[in-house]
Amino acid sequence: MSSIEDKVVIITGAGGGIGSATARLLAERGAKVVLADRKLEAAGRVAEQIERAGGSAVAMPVDVTNRAEMINLVAAATDRFGRLDVMVNNAGVGPVSYLDELKVDEWDLMIEVNLRGVLNGIAAALPVFRGQDSGQFVNIASTAAYTTSPTMAVYSGVKTAVRAVSEGLRKESGPHLRVSVVSPGFVATEFVQTVSDSQVREQLLKQRDAMAVSPDAIARAIAFAIEQPPEVDVNEIVIRPTAQA
């Protein structure tokens, strides 16, 4: 019996990329997955595929920047399945740019989705985990949390903050709650398409196409953190293409 089997797992940003790959893998291993995404149609397609394959999945439209929607998401998951075991805070955006371009609205978007979205996920799930005396957060950061490159200043700063918040949460959580940070490098998703500067976007697309790993590789790392026995807390996983500097 898999240690993932029958766990109830919420995954934000589950309509594509890392989120959908994670939902499929965890469902294959017997988890009951709740797919949250701003685009319900995309999450719904993934949920239908999982259900057709014999898994258990439900999709919900959720904006992670809206705390009330995140609270409703957790409530819906616990109402349907009776508990919540894992919150995967995966939703993210990456419209990176040079600071000189002053794309302040895009800075704000990264702060709202990539950081506030994680905080909203924590605020929604933590009371449930406390009530159960068990639970696990898996927060998706980035290799940009460990090094800052040109165009990546704001994105790197936000992902570094995700690591810091996660470490603080881990130290406050006590002996029964687990906190894991998974930090991917280049992944073969549409993530780079959010970059509005065409020159920067083309450069990143070339790098992605030359070296990126499949979202399935990140999903396996997330599953590894989840499948450990309750007394084992995998705190950080950094996973990148072998060719990535």
Residue numbers annotated as active site: 155
Give, for 4, the enclosing helix (H) or strand (E): none
Q: Are strands 86-89 and 56-61 parallel, antiparallel or unpaired?
A: unpaired
Amino acid, single-letter form, for residue 192: V
Query: Which 3 state secondary structure label does DSSP give 236?
Result: strand
Using only C-alpha atoms, what is the Rg of the chain?
A: 17
Are 9 and 86 in contact, with CB atoms under 8 Å apart?
A: yes
How far apart, in whole angstroms, are the C-alpha atoms of residue 51 and residue 148? 41
Nearest partner of 9 among 73, 86, 123, judged by Cα: 86
